[in-house]
Structure 1
Amino acid sequence: MMNYLRLLLISCVFLGTLSAAHAQGKITGVVTDSITHEPLAFASVFLANTTLGATTTEQGKFEFPKVPAGTYDIVGSYVGYGLAKKNITVTREAQQVDLQLAPTGNQLGEVVVKPEPNKPEEYKEFTNLFLGGTTFSEKCHISNPESVRVMYDDSTKELTARAKEFVQIDNDALGYRLKYYGLQFSYNREDGSIFYYGQPVFEEMTPRDEKQRKLWAANRMMAYKGSFMHFLRSVYANRVQAEGFMTQQIIISQNPKFERADKQRQALTAQHPDGKFTTAEQDSIETWESIAPVIASLNQNPLPIDSIRRASPTGKRVYLRFTGELQVAHFGEAPDPQYKRPMSPLGYPKTPIPPGPRQVSRLKLQGKEAAIQANGTLLNPLDVFNGEYWGFEKIGEFLPIDYTPGAAGLAPARQ
């Protein structure tokens, strides 16, 4: 069976939605201390997973004059305080959102215990898993490693990481500085599962010259094309085929060889309660254990759009809907050179397909369907698991939800 990656890093913060009509709304508010109710000057306020951020005035006030209509997490942060977060829906009507931050500083006289430094091998394992192994990920680095606490629990076989305030990642491939607030990271060495959670905000980096500005723009487009965000936007807009995607049904069935192999393994094991096997017997056991209980095959016929997409009668709500598992291929975009796994181990349809390179991923729904936002995000991130190529892409390809292909969103080059 395919191991699916639950990417809460990339998913749980995907809450914004862009209006088809590009409607915008205004947000104002005040950040205060939850106990004294005094305003907090120069606090950071941002819309999670976007490039939209603000700093409060001396009176604790903030303003977002033009926010695309949709649903967002608005987050407040201040040194010595816990994060404050509210889920808001932006419309054309202006609204006020006040945030109260709870102090977390030490009480007077309390002894402060400085944590032990991270073990180099554990920190390296964390960064490899968190940043990823793509070509773009290699150009990402954490600029405040002292803020990250990495720990390993030998009893649970779990590697965890936390940050006191935020983890700052500079992506020199895409030109983004990512501040990842409230990081919660865990990796289980036994089953290989990875869990990410937090509230990130993107900042545009300033290119050193025009050449770098163009490179960043090209790399962002490369990261976008064929991505999960690109696919969901294509489903929402009913442009799956036009955008170069093809979906096929994966058929999961019982492996007829598994039951017989399992009986043979159990019988041989029962003959040797001491666990001492000959070399030939050990080879047989390893062969039997390598036989999977189920096998996957591919329906050769590409799925029509109405087999994976459901829209409400008004067309305002769109859902990703399918049974079982899907294989999703995107044509025209080559996979990253660092991706060493076979591309589409289940094969391709016998019908003619576009020539050239392709990226192949795999999807599984948690329930019957998943609501899609217009900007290519999920209303409930836990509704979908992805694997193969989409499971391989991580921080190096991480784009803000307000990214628009071809938009002139890059900061000007330094003169």
Structure 2
Amino acid sequence: MGFSRIYFLVVCLVSLAGSALAQGRLNGVVQDSVTHEPLAFASVFLANTTLGATTTEDGKFDFPRVPKGNYDVVASYVGYRLAKQNITVGTAAQSVTLRPASSGPQLGEVVIHANPHQEDDYRKFTGLFLGTTTFAKQCRISNPDAVLVAYNDTTKELTASAENFVQVENEALGYRLKYFGLRFNYNTESESVSYDGQPVFEAMTPRDDRQQQQWEANRAAAYHGSQTHFLKSVYDNRVAEEGFLAQQVRLVPVPRAARGMSLLSKKKTRLTAAEQDSLRKWQDLPLIARLYPAARPIDSLRRISPDKDQVFLRFTHELQVCYFGEAPDPNYDAPMSAIGPVGATMPAKRQVSRLLLLAPETRIRPNGSLANPLDVVTGEYWGFQKIGDLLPLDYEPPVATARTPLPTPPAKAN
């Protein structure tokens, strides 16, 4: 058992915190970084939300009602690099100045134009970027010519970028997503995927009430069991109540190798050539993942600051997270990892994911987003979900309903 074959790291360097009931006002101006001249009709948005605006002729913008929280406010203008500023919105009005820099080639800079029509590479990119879930299959990139895809035979990396934005039409969730500043990387040897950028969402207009209801149902399905849903349950201390089971996974040597290495390391005399060769082979053997079935207590998943104002995700080794509220997507063909001891009765309807923390701890915001998404890597079911299942951070999930009762794992945590 281990991380799924494709590791998944998605970065949306933005977060929304707080309740939509508390709102503030945000306004400002977009100017050229050198001349400070206003940039008219620039796009300004709060990244990974549905909140966007266009500047006036004098470069000004205004968001009259912004839910209280922390955001990346981003300005985009043709011929300029993205300008970004992190802000915290409270009840008092505040103003910001964004100054994008020209994106023209600098002295000594080499500009390489990749062919955006390499069909095989582009097809592979769309599958890894949008995903292969039922919802992802209802997505399309409406400006494919804007995507520059290239493969490097030396590094074995498939990369993709866009000078301005990639536009995704998500017919399953009813959103039009503009993904600014795309930086995508797929390593064919490690099969690891990473991408980041600054997305903004626009709600699409439904054909009729029936389509709107379907979109709302699909959005709820995309939210339930997601990483955001889990992290919010950790923040709120409602892991079990929300239908999650969090378990610890440790990577250990295979038993035979562990015993052999232990015996050789304790040997008093000098190792023979054969013993040295055996030790080298055992050291090169892959580790196996050992699951500890007991549910992790909340204090082993999070730390609360002394002033009670901040919550941090913190756990040791790896975390296996099982969600019992929904069955996995029909297109998920990987075997679902075990969640309990052999012979234990466990619900068949479950989604099993893995979470690896790259830092000692990382801050969780009240809505389940991370202050630094680079601090975590997801695998298994969460690694299967990509842009096609992505929701804006200002999405309000429906009122919680009764969840499937959790299985009763061993009482003692290891």
TM bracket, shorter-chain basis: 0.7 to 0.9
Report the secondary structure of 1:231's partner residue.
helix
Q: Which residue of the other structure, out of 394, 401, 404, is the alignment partner of 2:386?
A: 394
- How does 1:28-39 map onto structure 2 within 5 Å? 28-39=27-38
Give the counterpart of 1:369 among 361, 372, 382.
361
Contact 1:301 1:349 in 2 (8 A): no
User: For residues 297-321 of structure 1, what are the alpha-carbon distances to aligned partners after superposition, in whole Å with 9 as ceiling and x for unaligned?
Assistant: 2212212222212222332211112
> Is the aligned partner of 1:46 residue 2:45?
yes
| % same residue | 57
* Shift of residue 182, structure 1, vs aligned partner: 0.4
Per the alignment, residue 395 of structure 2 pairs with 403
Question: Structure 1 pair 331/133, CA: closer, same or farther in 2 (3 Å)?
Answer: same
Q: What corresponds to 1:279 in structure 2?
A: none
Q: Is the 8 A contact 1:300 1:350 kept in 2?
A: no
- Deviation (angstroms), 1:357: 1.1
Equivalence map 1:3-402=2 (5 Å) = 3=3, 7-9=8-10, 11-13=11-13, 15-20=14-19, 22-105=21-104, 116-258=115-257, 292-344=285-337, 346-348=338-340, 355=347, 357-402=349-394
Give, as a single letter, the amino acid of the residue that structure 1 aligns with 2:168: I
Alpha-carbon distance, 1:395 to partner? 1.1
2:247 counterpart letter in structure 1 = Q
Q: CA separation in 2, counterparts of 1:306 and 1:350?
A: 27
Q: CA deviation at 1:58?
A: 1.2
Query: Given the superposition, is the C-alpha separation of residues 181 and 7 from structure 1 closer, same or farther in structure 2, using an over 3 Å criterion?
Result: farther
Q: d(CA) in 2 for partners of 1:238 and 1:114?
A: 50
In structure 1, distance between residues paired with 2:259 and 2:317:
26
CA 1:115–1:314: 2 relative to 1, 3 Å: closer
Distance 2:60 2:335 in 1: 53
- Equivalent residue number for residue 413 of structure 1: none
Q: Which amino acid aligns with 1:118?
A: H
Any idea what SS the aligned residue of 2:28 has? Answer: strand
- Give the alignment's TM-score, normalised by structure 2: 0.84
1:240 and 1:353 map into 2 onto residues whose CA distance is 20
Question: Retained in 1: the 8 A contact 2:139–2:171?
Answer: yes
Which ranges of structure 1 fall in alignment gaps of 5 or more residues? Answer: 271-287, 408-415
The C-alpha deviation readout for 1:145-190, integer Å capped at 9, x for no partner, is 0101100111111111110100000011000100000000111111
Relative to structure 1, the CA distance from residue 312 to residue 349 in structure 2 (aligned partners, 3 Å threshold; closer, same or farther) is farther
Change (3 A) 1:255 1:374: same
Greater shift after overlay, 217-226 or 83-92? Answer: 83-92
- Give the structure 1 partner of residue 266 of structure 2: none
**Partner Cα distance (1:113, 1:383) in 2:** 31
Secondary structure of residue in 2 paired with 1:40? coil
Between the aligned partners of 1:116 and 1:327, the Cα distance in structure 2 is: 40
Contact 2:114 2:149 in 1 (8 A): no
Segment of structure 1 superposing worse, 211-220 or 314-323: 314-323
Would you say the 8 A contact 1:143–1:170 is kept in 2?
yes
Residues 117, 316 of structure 1: CA spacing in aligned structure 2 closer, same or farther, 3 A cutoff? closer
SS at match of 2:290: strand
Counterpart residue type for residue 401 of structure 1? L
- 8 Å contact from structure 1 (residues 187, 193) kept in 2: yes
Q: How far did 1:116 drift? A: 3.7
Q: Is the 8 A contact 1:310 1:319 kept in 2?
A: yes
User: Quick one: distance in 2 between partners of 1:140 and 1:81?
Assistant: 28
Runs of 5+ in structure 2 lacking a partner? Answer: 262-272, 400-414
CA deviation after TM superposition for structure 1 residue 293, in Å: 2.4
In the alignment, is the contact (CA less than 8 A) between 1:331 and 1:354 conserved in 2?
no
Q: What secondary structure is seen at the aligned counterpart in 2 of 1:33?
A: coil
Question: Are 2:8 and 2:192, in contact at CA under 8 Å, matched by a contact in 1?
Answer: no
C-alpha separation between the residues in 1 aligned to 2:113 and 2:141?
21
Task: Describe the SS at the equivalent of 2:31.
Answer: strand
- Contact 1:258-1:293 within 8 A present in 2 as well: no
Other-structure match for 1:2:
2
